[in-house]
Amino acid sequence: MISHLEQALIKNYPMIFKDIYGDPKETCMSFGIETGTGWYNLIEDACHSIQQTVDLVNHIHPEIGFFVTAAQIKEKFGGLRFYIDYHGNKTDKELQWAYAQIESAIRFAEKKSYYICDNCGDYMKYEKSEGWHYPKCVPCREERMGVLEERAHLRRLPLSDTSDTIDGGTTNEQGTRQLR
């Protein structure tokens, strides 16, 4: 995610993102939010719901010191994954409704992510192609594939008249690539 959007989330929800950019031995949030910018609103809405629930719990039960932290936020199999940790007295049966409310907000964002492009945020039809799950709309996917094809083409460009290429291979008379 673009840093200014991450910074907005950190500013608005400092306790949820208290571990962001921390030691990678202690948190998966050390790499930041690992999604495209198109899912910013999904993450913002989920964090808003989580924070409202946390604030309500702390208003009703201030002695608990209840808060939630993001353990990891990423794209996996074409969908959003939002993992959290609960802090405070988790054995209190009165908090079961809070856990359910928070999990519901997260599941809603995760399910909705399958229909929103993680790059531009437009609605899209979920597709799986050649074993890959693409959380991108058709224009963004075509743009991405164009970039990948261009990179592949650059790897095949000759560096000199000897037909050496960037990847260190050569092409024989039959046109077959041979790597060194």
Interatomic CA distance for residues 155 and 153, integer angstroms: 5
Give the mean pLDDT of 51-56: 97
pTM value > 0.85: no
Share of the chain above pLDDT 70, in %: 76
Looking at residue 37, its pLDDT comes to 95
Helix (H) or strand (E) run with residue 5 in it: helix 3-12
- Treating both helix axes as pointing N-terminal to C-terminal, what angle do 3-12 and 40-60 enclose, rounded to 10 degrees? 10
Tell me if residue 92 falls in helix, strand or coil.
coil
Across the chain, mean pLDDT equals 84
Query: Under a CB-based contact definition with an 8 Å cutoff, are residues 105 and 96 in contact?
Result: no
